[in-house]
Each structure stands twice: as structure tokens, then as C-alpha cells.
A = this chain, B = another copy of it.
Amino acid sequence: MSTMTYLQAITDGLRTEMRQDERVFVLGEDVGAFGGAFKATAGLYDEFGADRVQDTPIAESAIIGASVGAALAGLRPVAEMQFSDFVACGFDQLVNVAGKMHYRTGLAVPMVLRLPTGGGFAGGPFHSQNPEAWFMHAPGLKVVAPSTPADAKGLLMSALRDPNPVCFLEHKNLYRRQKGEVPEGTHLEPFEARVVRAGEELTIVAYGAMVHAALAAADTFEPGRVEVLDLRSLVPLDEEAILASVRRTSKVLIVDEANETCAAGAQVAALVADRAFSDLDGPVRRIATPDVPIPFSPTLEASVLPTPDRIAEAARELLAY
């Protein structure tokens, strides 16, 4: 174990697997000697060279499409979008080529698409998005979203060994703010949810940065009342873990940093409302970012992103329901 930031854990996961598996290589804009816009690939170029740590042209479609080709040829590409927002420029290669390949042809596409996501640092409408629901609605893509340094490494290393295209959502706001113990060497985490705070009266379902907001909100209640479930994986979605928790607590609050409509949280809500209905003692509540582009000005941004206060308030209401 050693203490690392979320960002360092990502680099460590990449480095560890690149040392063990020569098929793994990294590509993206400025990921080479520069180490990437967020320094997630810092040091890799020096260790592994230009072929395994490739600077690409500004061409998101080609970054994704060429990764598909390399994966078909037996390599294990790890492609970086400089910001997850730019994935819209390569969307077609992702949803139509990568996502459908195995079902249509039997060929597998073992690739990882690293996507720095999320807001909270005045990034504005094009550097703050949370695009995961788009991927969830595209069959054939796995989607994971770690909230801690250990999970960042563990889910990344599992993604690198998965024979499918995996969208790996790394929240920019966790990069340097989250520090924690991370196992050394190979560390694999399953694509499953985890209870990060046990409680009896209400389940808060969250993932990514919102796990920390949910924990902060849970901390405002007596211990043991509010359970926080960290989804960690969105596809596959750990339905049994969600249902088990909600059936036990009988109340649920679903938190999502993404825009509200058709978000991951909507899917979780629909699941609960269908399959845990008879165990529910209150409405299925959601907190998400309203359907607006993420505004730049810190006061505006803070007014739309879910905060611990807003989560705690909704939790209070639900507990009292």
C-alpha cells in the first residue's frame, strides 16, 4: 500500500499494466513527453517510448477508431480524450464501431477510453460534462466511474484486462483532491457496486465525485441511518446491490452530477421503481444537475451542481417522509 492521489493511482495502474503486458499502449493528444493535459501519463513516455505512449493529431474520431483497429489486431489501446467533452467528436466510432463490433462480427475490441469528466472548477460548458449516460444508452460499451484512488487503479486495471471497450470516467475534481491508500502491483476491482457507508433508513446511490458529496451529506446524520452505495460501474449496473440496499432501507435518493434527463440516475430510479416498489416507503428522489450547459462563473456553477447541502436536505425530507 502507498498513499496516492486519484491521479497518481491512474498513472500507477497504467504503468503497472504496461510493465506486465506489452500489448498495452497509450494514445491521445499530448499524452507523450508532455504527460497529458492532466499529467495522467506523466513519466510513461520516458519509460515506454514513443510507440507505446503516442501523441496523436487532434482527431478524436481517429483516436477511437484507430484504437478499435489496434484492439482488433490484438493490442490493448488506452485512448485518452483530453476532456471527456470531446468524445462527441468521436462518438460515431465509439457507439457504432466499437460498441457493436462483438455482437455483429464476433471480434472483440479490448480497449479503454479514458475520459476526464465533471465540473466544479469553472471549466464552463465544454470542459465540465458528464457524458456517461450517452454511453450507457449505446449497447456494447462498459462504463465505469471510480470515486477513490484505490478504485481508480483497480477499476482501470480491470478495464485494461476486459475484452470489451470500456469507458473509464475519471473525475477531474478528484484528481488531486482525493488521496488514499492504494495497493501496489496488480490491483483488480470488479465492476460492481460497493456500500461505502452502511445505514438502515435511507440509501443514497452515487458514483464518481458525487460519492464524496453523498458521504458529506450522510455525515450530517447520526451514524447508521444513511447508507451510501458507490455504483463504481454503470455498465454493467449492479442491479442486485442497488435493490438489496433499497429493499433494506426502503428509501432511496439518487445523486448524479450529469444533466438530469435520461441520466444514469434516471435508470437507477426506473429500476428501483419497478423492482423494489413494494419495499419503498417513500418516493424515489433524485438530485442531478438541471438540464443546462455547465456555466462558467463559479457562483453559477455552484448553483447547478449537486452539493452536500442539497443532498442532505433531500435526505432529511425523505427520512421524514
Interface residues of A (CB under 8 A from B): 85, 88-89, 91-92, 95-96, 99-100, 103-104, 125-126, 133-134, 136-140, 235, 237, 258-259, 261-267, 269-270, 272-275, 277-278, 280, 282-286, 291-293
Cβ–Cβ < 8 Å partners of A259 in chain B: 137-139
CA distance A263 to B136 in the complex (A): 9
Q: Is there contact, CB below 8 Å, between B263 and A137?
A: yes
What are 14 pairs between A and B in contact, CB < 8 Å? Answer: A88-B92, A99-B293, A103-B293, A133-B137, A134-B137, A137-B258, A137-B263, A139-B291, A261-B267, A262-B267, A269-B270, A274-B284, A274-B286, A277-B283
Q: Is there contact, CB below 8 Å, between B125 and A100?
A: yes
A85's nearest neighbour on chain B, judged by CB, is B96
CA distance A8 to B37 in the complex (A): 52
Cβ–Cβ < 8 Å partners of A100 in chain B: 125, 293
With both chains docked as a complex, state the minimum distance between the C-beta of A126 and any C-beta of chain B, in angstroms.
7
With both chains docked as a complex, state the minimum distance between the C-beta of A98 and any C-beta of chain B, in angstroms.
12
With both chains docked as a complex, state the minimum distance between the C-beta of A243 and any C-beta of chain B, in angstroms.
12
A-B pairs, top 6 by smallest CB distance, nearest first, are A273-B273, A277-B283, A269-B270, A273-B284, A88-B92, A91-B91
Interface centre among A96, A264, A265, A282 (most CB of B within 10 A): A96
CA distance A71 to B282 in the complex (A): 46
With both chains docked as a complex, state the minimum distance between the C-beta of A12 and any C-beta of chain B, in angstroms.
31
Q: Is there contact, CB below 8 Å, between B269 and A277?
A: no
Q: Is there contact, CB below 8 Å, between B280 and A270?
A: no
Cβ–Cβ < 8 Å partners of A267 in chain B: 261-262, 266
Q: Is there contact, CB below 8 Å, between A126 and B96?
A: yes
A99's nearest neighbour on chain B, judged by CB, is B293
- A285 contact from B91, B264, B274, Cβ within 8 A: B274
Cβ–Cβ < 8 Å partners of A293 in chain B: 99-100, 103-104, 139-140
A235's nearest neighbour on chain B, judged by CB, is B261
Cβ–Cβ < 8 Å partners of A263 in chain B: 137, 262
With both chains docked as a complex, state the minimum distance between the C-beta of A97 and any C-beta of chain B, in angstroms.
10
Contact A277 B270, CB 8 Å, known A259-B137, A263-B137: no
A289's nearest neighbour on chain B, judged by CB, is B139
Q: Is there contact, CB below 8 Å, between B136 and A262?
A: yes
Cβ–Cβ < 8 Å partners of A265 in chain B: 270
Cβ–Cβ < 8 Å partners of A95 in chain B: 88
CA distance A139 to B133 in the complex (A): 13
Q: Is there contact, CB below 8 Å, between B282 and A277?
A: yes
Cβ–Cβ < 8 Å partners of A282 in chain B: 277
CA distance A155 to B286 in the complex (A): 31
Cβ–Cβ < 8 Å partners of A92 in chain B: 88-89, 91
Contact A274 B269, CB 8 Å, known A137-B258, A137-B259, A259-B137: yes
With both chains docked as a complex, state the minimum distance between the C-beta of A114 and any C-beta of chain B, in angstroms.
19
